[in-house]
Every structure is written in structure tokens, then in C-alpha cells.
């Protein structure tokens, strides 16, 4: 027995989405048609997949298609598909309630200056709601393919907080979305305008999109197909224009911007498959909103049958910004997600996708430096994750990395490891770098002083991921990567002798500082790093940088307390002052400030900021 008609309230998140959509997307209101056609295409894809196991689902209507019609008298636009359809519970789940965490992330991303960014609509799976940008009422009629005619469902809402549900009899499977247009949206009652939008946004949908022909300004009962209705990736590259590729990307990635670059390849042999992979020009929002946990953007097809959004199976996490399709000829059609994860053929396809993407990025780096700079600004930090995650391609990824440098152009990250090696002095056997939590902190690090004095280039790494990334990149092209703040510096015989003499001469001062600082330091040493600054921290080769330890503590991670090594410059006036100070309290203030300023420069968190301020005030006032 059918459930009676009823009125329900939208969940709070959906109500918020509706409010934002109807009040924020006025500048891109035509996206409603792209999104509704995309949903219809998904419904047709799902039916085609399910019909492999249940051919009876297609009975009586095997030609899948999408119809877009308009009625100037009723002021409606209808998007209908003969795909899988929905039952009552599915309509409630997909339209009336929060379907996934994507809706919440959509709400977060739609705040502030990003409010009017229509790219968010499709990327977060809330495209249906864009209908309310142009309609003051939306009616949905749907019947699932495996349900009898009497189990059709009618859903209707004005988008203001409530919707109604009632059973209806529907002779045909599929879904119709009927938009009752607002008074000022007459432009969408034009066949020419609707057709132009379909051509712009949906020409490469792989199902026929049909529209009624027109006679005397009125739609007729005859339909004609108006899109290419073919899978773009199956065509020869010679038959596809750049405009075709860009148009397909925009429909695939729900993006208004052009793709930065793409690669289209067909592999023939014992395992045949086609890949069409795009690099966006700007970061997709699922990348920015924690996309490692829930990724889409790579569609898996088998013999042109859509199987799933399989980003995790087709590309590693560090390439999660890539959008595209993979169409395989010889994977089993009844493949499930569990089988996919352990399928050797799919592993080979994944390896091929990684190779193609890295080939494309390398080509940009070599032949199109401006595009590569755009890519690196958008995705450089994401690419760095591959140093740790993809040991097989570590050398290739490392070659693509760019950094700021003491011999670079200010904050610009445009120095490659190859550039650095090419400028290395005769006899230099290491690539030197420093990590910090900002460019200014890296460039101003006291540990750089000896390197500047000897004209040795140092890479300035200031992105949060750098310290973690560099832990997996110990060597490049036979050269060790070394942190200027870690371990002992290599000294020639003259420098060693000078260092030994300075240490011997400073022994009383070193002993005094160790006594004054007590357990706050593990050791006090004369520095080979400093020429101008009074003090700095030195770390062991395997010790975590203080700024990273601070960030991890702030993120709730338990970090073991470590006692730093304090290196000093005995020739500095402040050290001379400590050495000469006979008042123990004043000497302790001075010694502690030397340690604390070294900790601040290294990005460490002071254990007691208030005590630091009071100590600084006493020293400034001469108390």
C-alpha cells in the first residue's frame, strides 16, 4: 500500500544550502541546466551498470536518453531521463536530507569571499539545489526501474524549508525534474537559449540529449538530439579540438575555468585502456577541504560503462588534484570496490596514470614555464606528499620541486634541485637547506650566517609540509640533503683548528652558561654556524625541527620533550656581557634570554611567554 501524501521539513544543512544557492549564485544561474543534466546522466549510467546483471531493467525502453523541454504557457522547463529512477526513500535521502559530509563542506566553503563561486555546486554533490536559482517551485516525478507503475513518487517544494511527498502512478521509469520558473527568468523559456547552454556545458555527455523541435514558436512532439552524445575520450585525438577538450573538462570537473593541461592516451596490447587526464588551473575545492579522505574526480569506465568514481584506485593521494576518465576494455564488468582494490590489472592502469601525469608535469616544466609556475603555486605542496608516498617515483617528483633560495629571487619558489647542483662550489658534497614556518624566518635564520660568509647557497623551505617531506628525501643525484641547523658542520683543517681554539678559550663561559641554564639545555657549545648572531639552537641529525614539533602539539599530538643544544658566538657583545656579569640573577636573565631568542628564531614555543616578557623588561631597564 502506498504511503499517504505528507509534508516534511528539510534538514537544517539542506535549508542552509538552499538559502546560499538562491541568494549567492545570481551571476551563474545558468548552471542549473548543467547540474540537472549531469544528474540525469548519472542516473542513466547507473541503470546501464545495473542492467548488466539484470537485463530486465531495460525492458521496453533500451535507448537511454535525456530530454530537455520547455512550456512557455505553463512557464516550466523539464529535464527528464529514463535512467535508474528513485523510490520514496531514495528521494528523501538524496534531496530532503544531508546526503554526505560534502554538503557540510559546501556550507563551510561557501562562506566569506567564496560565497558566489558556482564551481562549488557540482563538486560537493548539491547540484540539484541549483534549480531554485531560477525556479520558485520544483516538482520531481520519479519511478525506480525495478518498481511497478503504482510506486512512482512526486516530490515538490518551493525551497523555503518544506517539501511534500506523495505516491503517483508513472507509466515509465526514470526521473522528471520540472522547474516552475520565477517571473524574471523568461530567457530560459527560449529553445535557442536552452540549446546554447547544453552545447556549452553538456555537449560531451555520453547519452543523447534531446529537445523538441519548434514550430511557430511552440515546442512540438518531435524530438531531435542536439549534443555530440559520444564519449570524447574514444575519439581519435586528431578529431578533437582544444575547445572540445576544454568543454569536456568543464562538464567533468564542474569548473568554469579552463584546464591548465591535459594528456590523452590509448594503450593497446594484452591490456587495453584509454586515459584522459586533466590538471586544473586552480585547486579543486575537495583538495582544499580535506580531500584526502573523500576523493572524486577520476571516473572509471569499463567498455564505456560507468562503474564508479574511483579516484583512490586510479591515482595516489598526492595526485588527487587530477581530473579525468579511465576506460578499460578488459576488467570484469561485475567488478566491485573490494575487487578493484586488489586487482592487478587496475594496479597497472594506476601506474600508467601516474606516469602520464608526471610526464605532463615534466613537459610543462620544460616547455611551458609560465604554466608550470601556475601549476606549482596551486599544487606544489600536494605534489611534495609524493616524496614520502611514492618511493618508485621519488626521483622524478624531486626533480619537479621548487624552492626559495639564498641565491634566488626573494620569496619566489623557482629554484630546482638541479639548479642548486649546477651552482655548487667545487668540493661541495651536500645540498644545504633550512626549514622554518615562514619565508622570513627561514631567510633570517642565524644558522645561515656561516654559509653566507662562505657564499654557499641554502634552500629556504618554509611550507608546513617541508620538514615532513624532507625526512623521505635524504639524497638527490648522489648528493646528500643536509639541514644547516642539524648535526656537525663539515670543516676544513683550518676551520677545525680555529673551532678547537675558540672552544678551549670559551670553556669558562660554556660552563657558566650550562650552570645558569640547568635542565633547559642539553649542551652549550661554541658555534661554527654563527658570525653575527649571539646564539642559535642546534639539532641532532634525526631531531624534529622545533617549529614542526610546535605545530604537531597544537594539533593535539603528544611530542616528547627534548633538551636543545645551545650554540653561542663567544665574540658577540651579549656573550661578553654574560661572561663579565657578576650578579647571578642578572647573568641568569641574560643567559635565559640568549636561549629564548634562539628558540624563537627556530620556531619553538616558549614554555613561559610571560616570564620571557618580564625577563626582557628587567634587562632593558638594567634591573
Q: Give the span between the Cα atoms of 155 and 138, in whole angstroms.
A: 8
Q: Provide CATH 3.30.565.10 ranges for the chain.
A: 14-225
Q: Provide CATH 1.20.120.790 ranges for the chain.
A: 493-621
Q: What is the pLDDT at residue 473?
A: 94
Q: Give the span between the Cα atoms of 442 and 445, in whole angstroms.
A: 5
Whether pLDDT at 557 is above 90:
no
pLDDT band at 602 (very low <50, low <70, confident <90, very high): confident
Whether pLDDT at 254 is above 50:
yes
Whether pLDDT at 291 is above 60:
no
3-state secondary structure 78-96: EEEECCCCCCHHHHHHHHH
What's the chain's average pLDDT? Answer: 86
Any binding-site annotation on 123? Answer: yes
Q: What is the pLDDT at residue 336?
A: 47
Q: Give the span between the Cα atoms of 446 and 449, in whole angstroms.
A: 6
Whether pLDDT at 164 is above 90:
yes
Q: Give the span between the Cα atoms of 392 and 415, in whole angstroms.
A: 23
- What value does the mean pLDDT take over residues 574-585? 93
Angle at 205 between CA 202 and CA 207, to 5 degrees: 130
Task: Encode pLDDT of 380-415 as tens digits.
Answer: 999 999 999 999 999 999 999 999 999 988 899 999
**What is the CATH topology of the domain spanning 493-621?**
1.20.120
pLDDT band at 337 (very low <50, low <70, confident <90, very high): very low
Give me the phi and psi of 264, to 5 degrees please: -125, 120
Q: Give the span between the Cα atoms of 578 and 580, in whole angstroms.
A: 5
Any binding-site annotation on 81? Answer: yes
Whether pLDDT at 615 is above 60:
yes
Against a cut of 0.85, is the pTM above it? Answer: no
Q: Give the span between the Cα atoms of 159 and 129, in whole angstroms.
A: 8
Give me the phi and psi of 30, to 5 degrees please: -70, -10
Q: 417, 477 in Cβ contact below 8 A?
A: yes
Q: What is the pLDDT at residue 475?
A: 94
Q: Give the span between the Cα atoms of 615 and 593, in whole angstroms.
A: 8
Q: What is the pLDDT at residue 111?
A: 54
Any binding-site annotation on 102? Answer: yes
Whether pLDDT at 333 is above 80:
no
Q: What is the pLDDT at residue 335?
A: 47
Whether pLDDT at 289 is above 60:
no
- What value does the mean pLDDT take over residues 92-104? 59
Radius of gyration of the chain (CA): 32
Q: What is the pLDDT at residue 23?
A: 61
Q: What is the pLDDT at residue 302?
A: 77
User: Which of residues 93 and 58 earns the better pLDDT score?
Assistant: 58
Residue among 280, 281, 283, 327 nearest 305 (CA): 327
User: Which of residues 541 and 157 earns the better pLDDT score?
Assistant: 157
Pick the CATH number of 232-370 from 3.40.50.450, 3.60.20.30, 3.30.230.80, 3.40.50.720: 3.30.230.80
The DSSP result for 557-583, as a single string, is -------PEEEE-TTSHHHHHHHH---
Other CB atoms closer than 10 Å to residue 145's CB: what's the count? 23
3-state secondary structure 74-139: CCEEEEEECCCCCCHHHHHHHHHCCCCHHHHHHHHHCCHHHCCCCHHHHHCCCHHHHHHHCEEEEE
Any binding-site annotation on 408? Answer: no
Any binding-site annotation on 343? Answer: no
Alpha helices in 368-477 (DSSP H): 369-389, 394-400, 417-423, 439-443, 449-453, 466-470
User: Which of residues 559 and 219 earns the better pLDDT score?
Assistant: 219
Among 95-104, 451-460, 515-524, which is the least confidently predicted range? Answer: 95-104
pLDDT band at 312 (very low <50, low <70, confident <90, very high): confident
Secondary-structure breakdown of the chain: helix, strand, coil percentages, each rounded to the nearest 5: 45, 20, 35
Q: 430, 457 in Cβ contact below 8 A?
A: no
Q: What is the pLDDT at residue 63?
A: 93
Angle of the 191-202 helix axis to the 31-53 helix axis, nearest 10: 60
Q: What is the pLDDT at residue 205?
A: 83
Task: Encode pLDDT of 432-481 as tens digits.
Answer: 999 998 999 999 999 999 999 999 999 999 998 998 899 899 999 999 99
Cell numbers linked to 329: 576494455
CATH architecture for segment(s) 402-483:
3-Layer(aba) Sandwich (3.40)
Any binding-site annotation on 227? Answer: no
- Contacts for 546 with CB less than 8 Å, ≥ 6 apart: 537, 564, 599, 602, 603, 604, 605
Cell 525495478 identifies what position? 146
pLDDT band at 347 (very low <50, low <70, confident <90, very high): confident
Whether pLDDT at 117 is above 70:
no
Any binding-site annotation on 298? Answer: no
- What value does the mean pLDDT take over residues 474-502? 90
Q: 442, 396 in Cβ contact below 8 A?
A: no
Q: What is the pLDDT at residue 3?
A: 59
Q: What is the pLDDT at residue 22?
A: 65
User: Which of residues 10 and 408 earns the better pLDDT score?
Assistant: 408
Pick the CATH number of 14-225 from 3.30.70.270, 3.30.1360.20, 3.30.429.10, 3.30.565.10: 3.30.565.10
- Contacts for 604 with CB less than 8 Å, ≥ 6 apart: 537, 546, 547, 549, 550, 564
Q: What is the pLDDT at residue 555?
A: 66
Whether pLDDT at 204 is above 70:
yes
User: Which of residues 608 and 548 earns the better pLDDT score?
Assistant: 608
Q: What is the pLDDT at residue 433?
A: 95
Q: What is the pLDDT at residue 118?
A: 45
Task: Encode pLDDT of 124-156 as tens digits.
Answer: 455 788 888 899 999 999 999 999 999 999 999
Residue among 136, 123, 153 nearest 77 (CA): 136
Cell 574526480 identifies what position? 297
**Can you tell me whether residue 141 is helix, strand or coil?**
strand
Q: 165, 151 in Cβ contact below 8 A?
A: no
**Can you tell me whether residue 369 is helix, strand or coil?**
helix
Any binding-site annotation on 565? Answer: no
Give me the phi and psi of 241, to 5 degrees please: -85, 165
Any binding-site annotation on 35? Answer: yes
Q: Give the span between the Cα atoms of 71 and 48, in whole angstroms.
A: 30
Q: Provide CATH 3.40.50.11260 ranges for the chain.
A: 402-483
Q: Provide CATH 3.30.230.80 ranges for the chain.
A: 232-370
Q: What is the pLDDT at residue 119?
A: 47
The DSSP result for 508-576, as a single string, is HHHHHHHHHHGGG-SEEEE-SS-SSSSEEEEB-TTPPPHHHHHHHHHTT-------PEEEE-TTSHHHH
Chain centre to alpha carbon of residue 144: 35
Strand partners, 137: 180
Q: 606, 593 in Cβ contact below 8 A?
A: no
- What value does the mean pLDDT take over residues 485-499? 86
Where does residue 110 rank: exposed (0-12), middle (13-18), buried (19+ CB within 10 A)?
A: buried
Any binding-site annotation on 39? Answer: yes
Among 103-112, 186-195, 351-360, 580-589, which is the least confidently predicted range? Answer: 103-112
User: Which of residues 30 and 69 earns the better pLDDT score?
Assistant: 69
High-pLDDT (> 90) share of the chain, %: 57
- What value does the mean pLDDT take over residues 529-552? 81
Any binding-site annotation on 127? Answer: yes
Any binding-site annotation on 175? Answer: yes
User: Which of residues 265 and 34 earns the better pLDDT score?
Assistant: 265
Angle of the 573-580 helix axis to the 584-601 helix axis, nearest 10: 150
Any binding-site annotation on 75? Answer: no
Amino acid at each position: 500500500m502506498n504511503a499517504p501524501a505528507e509534508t516534511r521539513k528539510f534538514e537544517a544543512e539542506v535549508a542552509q544550502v538552499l538559502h546560499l544557492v538562491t541568494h549567492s549564485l545570481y551571476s551563474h544561474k545558468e548552471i542549473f541546466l548543467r547540474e540537472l543534466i549531469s544528474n540525469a546522466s548519472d542516473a542513466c549510467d547507473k541503470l546501464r551498470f545495473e542492467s548488466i546483471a539484470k537485463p530486465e531493467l531495460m525492458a521496453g525502453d533500451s535507448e537511454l536518453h535525456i530530454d530537455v523541454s520547455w512550456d512557455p504557457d505553463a512557464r516550466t522547463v523539464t529535464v527528464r531521463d529514463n535512467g535508474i529512477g528513485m523510490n520514496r526513500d531514495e528521494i528523501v535521502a538524496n534531496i530532503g536530507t544531508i546526503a554526505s559530509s560534502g554538503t557540510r563542506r559546501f556550507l563551510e566553503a561557501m562562506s566569506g569571499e567564496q560565497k558566489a563561486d558556482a564551481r562549488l555546486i557540482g563538486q560537493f554533490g548539491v547540484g540539484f539545489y541549483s534549480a531554485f536559482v531560477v525556479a520558485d517551485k520544483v516538482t520531481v516525478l520519479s519511478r525506480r526501474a525495478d518498481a511497478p507503475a503504482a510506486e512512482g513518487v512526486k516530490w515538490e517544494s518551493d525551497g523555503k524549508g518544506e517539501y511534500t511527498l506523495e505516491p503517483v502512478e508513472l507509466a515509465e521509469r526514470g526521473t522528471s525534474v520540472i522547474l516552475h520558473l520565477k517571473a524574471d527568468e523568461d530567457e530560459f523559456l527560449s529553445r535557442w537559449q536552452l540549446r546554447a547552454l547544453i552545447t556549452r556545458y553538456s555537449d560531451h555527455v555520453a547519452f543523447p540529449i534531446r529537445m523538441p523541435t519548434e514550430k511557430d514558436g511552440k515546442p512540438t512532439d518531435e524530438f531531435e538530439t542536439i549534443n555530440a552524445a559520444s564519449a570524447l575520450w574514444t575519439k581519435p585525438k586528431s578529431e578533437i579540438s582544444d575547445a572540445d577538450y576544454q568543454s569536456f573538462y568543464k562538464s567533468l570537473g564542474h569548473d568554469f575555468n579552463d584546464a591548465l593541461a591535459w594528456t590523452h592516451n590509448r594503450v593497446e596490447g594484452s591490456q587495453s585502456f584509454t586515459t584522459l587526464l586533466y590538471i586544473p588551473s586552480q585547486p579543486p575545492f575537495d583538495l582544499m577541504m580535506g580531500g584526502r579522505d573523500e576523493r572524486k574526480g577520476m571516473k572509471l569506465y569499463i567498455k564505456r560503462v560507468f562503474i564508479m568514481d574511483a579516484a583512490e584506485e586510479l591515482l595516489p593521494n598526492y595526485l588527487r588534484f587530477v581530473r579525468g576518465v579511465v576506460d578499460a576494455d578488459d576488467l570484469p564488468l561485475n567488478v566491485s570496490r573490494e575487487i578493484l582494490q586488489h586487482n592487478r590489472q587496475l594496479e597497472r592502469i594506476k601506474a600508467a596514470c601516474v606516469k602520464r601525469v608526471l610526464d605532463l608535469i615534466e613537459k610543462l616544466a620544460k616547455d611551458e614555464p609560465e604554466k608550470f609556475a601556475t601549476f606549482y603555486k596551486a599544487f606544489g605542496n600536494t605534489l611534495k606528499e609524493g616524496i614520502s608516498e611514492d618511493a618508485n617515483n621519488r626521483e622524478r617528483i624531486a626533480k619537479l620541486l621548487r624552492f626559495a633560495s639564498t641565491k634566488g629571487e626573494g620569496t619566489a619558489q623557482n629554484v630546482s634541485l638541479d639548479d642548486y647542483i649546477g651552482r655548487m662550489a667545487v668540493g661541495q658534497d651536500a645540498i644545504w637547506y633550512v626549514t622554518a614556518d615562514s619565508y622570513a624566518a627561514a631567510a633570517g635564520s642565524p644558522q645561515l650566517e656561516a654559509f653566507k660568509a662562505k657564499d654557499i647557497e641554502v634552500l629556504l623551505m618554509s611550507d608546513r609540509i617541508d620538514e615532513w617531506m624532507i625526512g623521505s628525501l635524504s639524497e638527490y643525484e648522489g648528493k646528500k640533503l643536509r639541514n644547516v641547523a642539524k648535526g656537525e658542520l663539515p670543516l676544513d683543517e683550518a676551520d677545525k683548528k680555529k673551532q678547537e681554539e675558540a672552544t678551549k678559550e670559551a670553556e669558562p663561559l660554556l660552563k657558566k652558561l650550562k650552570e645558569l641554564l640547568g635542565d633547559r639545555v642539553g649542551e652549550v657549545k661554541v658555534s661554527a654556524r654563527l658570525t653575527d648572531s649571539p646564539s642559535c639552537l642546534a639539532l641532532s641529525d634525526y631531531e624534529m625541527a622545533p617549529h614542526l614539533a610546535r605545530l604537531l602539539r597544537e594539533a593535539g599530538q603528544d611530542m616528547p620533550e627534548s633538551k636543545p643544544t645551545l650554540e653561542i658566538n663567544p665574540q658577540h657583545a651579549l656573550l661578553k656581557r654574560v661572561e663579565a656579569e657578576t650578579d647571578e640573577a642578572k647573568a641568569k636573565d641574560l643567559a635565559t634570554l640568549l636561549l629564548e631568542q634562539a628558540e624563537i628564531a627556530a620556531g619553538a614555543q616558549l614554555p613561559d611567554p610571560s616570564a620571557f616578557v618580564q625577563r626582557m623588561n628587567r634587562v632593558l631597564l638594567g634591573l
